[in-house]
Homo-oligomer: A and B are copies of this chain.
């Protein structure tokens, strides 16, 4: 009997509703991706620095982090983290921690023009934006942001909250540590290990392993000094 509450499990949340945490520029790409993915309805945007009643391309600002409790009580349990953390990579992690503490989970969002091979594994909170590709057997760590037209090749392992800017390409069998950011159209060669908390600038060409915390400037070749003999194609 459909009216008998005991006939099937009762879930205390609305599986179709989502909030967007963070109302900066990146949120416009995320909101569009969530809408076109066609799975979730966006209730609104949470941002401590925006006014309640403002809107981001048609989605209302609901307030700051202080409204998370109310939303939880309304049965909302799903939140997309749209804080990119380009200038301060730990901010993105802090948002995930705040959301988890408030009882929210972060789904994977994959834009319909992106493609994730079935043998790849994406942890919670991973975003794969338009035109990107995650290849066979790749493993993508919690909260990683794969921006547009990125390629993560076969067997790559990416850490927590790594960030790949548009056009970044990483060849097969490479590993990238937590919080590392890879700039637009940068390349990382096959089988390399890039450490944690690295900043790889736009257009950089990475040919050898990169130690933790390294900063590679935009347009540079890594390693920085090479005699002709050392050069690697």
User: Which of A's residues lie within 8 Å of B, judged by CB?
Assistant: 25-26, 28-29, 31-32, 35-36, 57-58, 86, 111-113, 115, 117-119, 130-133, 135-137, 148-149, 151, 153-155, 165-167, 169, 171-173, 183-187, 189-190, 199-205, 207, 215-221, 231-233
Find out whether the CB atom of A136 lies under 8 angstroms from the CB atom of B29. yes
Copies in the complex: 3
Q: Is the interface of A mostly helix, strand, loop or mixed?
A: loop
Q: Report the minimal beta-carbon distance from A178 to chain B, rounded to whole angstroms.
A: 18
Find out whether the CB atom of B148 lies under 8 angstroms from the CB atom of A151. yes
- The answer to whether residues A233 and B187 also contact, given A153-B29, A205-B202 and a CB cut-off of 8 A, is no
- Distance of A131 Cα from B202 Cα, bound (Å): 21
List B contacts of A154 (CB < 8 A). 25-26, 28-29
Q: Report the minimal beta-carbon distance from A58 to chain B, rounded to whole angstroms.
A: 7
A-B contacts, 15 of them at CB < 8 A, read: A28-B154, A36-B115, A57-B136, A115-B130, A131-B151, A153-B166, A165-B171, A184-B187, A185-B185, A189-B218, A201-B233, A203-B203, A203-B221, A217-B233, A218-B232
- The answer to whether residues A26 and B118 also contact, given A183-B187, A233-B201 and a CB cut-off of 8 A, is no
- Distance of A167 Cα from B35 Cα, bound (Å): 26
- The answer to whether residues A155 and B233 also contact, given A115-B113, A189-B202 and a CB cut-off of 8 A, is no
- Distance of A131 Cα from B155 Cα, bound (Å): 18
Q: Report the minimal beta-carbon distance from A20 to chain B, rounded to whole angstroms.
A: 12
Find out whether the CB atom of A167 lies under 8 angstroms from the CB atom of B151. yes
- Distance of A35 Cα from B148 Cα, bound (Å): 24
